[in-house]
Amino acid sequence: MFDISLRNHEAVKVADWLLCNSVYDFEPAALDSAQGIIPIGPLLESNRLGNSAGHLSPEDLTCIKWQDEQPPCPVIYVAFGSITTFNQVQFQELSPGLELSNRPFLWVVRLNSTDGINDA
């Protein structure tokens, strides 16, 4: 867990932007003081019951190897954390946008983070 936190901390140092689950009107002073943080919230928890967060899946280093093979700084990293779930329509809206960016992207999708989608 510490290793993951350390890698995230290092990645934040070189990121152009960080998207956060917040609203500018809720915390303008904090967002004004931190350059490069873009509020995109609120991303609300699904109304589905019975899916709790709090466990980590085994680490898969395949994506790290893939990212290391990319040229410096072109990869878009997309992750919505453990609170947000998506339905089929939302996945269909996000996917083309990422593809149209013409940039390599790493989209983290937690198991059981989708409403009724078998393959994303």
Give the model's confidence band at 120: pLDDT under 50 very low, under 70 low, under 90 confident, else very high. Answer: very low
Quote the pLDDT of residue 34. Answer: 82
Give the model's confidence band at 97: pLDDT under 50 very low, under 70 low, under 90 confident, else very high. Answer: confident
Q: Tell me the one-letter amino acid at 93.
A: E
Q: How far apart, in whole angstroms, are the C-alpha atoms of residue 31 and residue 27?
A: 6
Contacts of residue 108, defined as CB under 8 A and 6 or more positions apart, other chains included, come to 77, 78, 79
Q: Which of 34, 116, 30, 114 is nearest to 80 (CA)?
A: 114
Beta strands in the chain (DSSP E): 18-20, 37-39, 76-79, 86-87, 105-108, 114-115
Domain boundaries, the chain: 1-41, 57-112
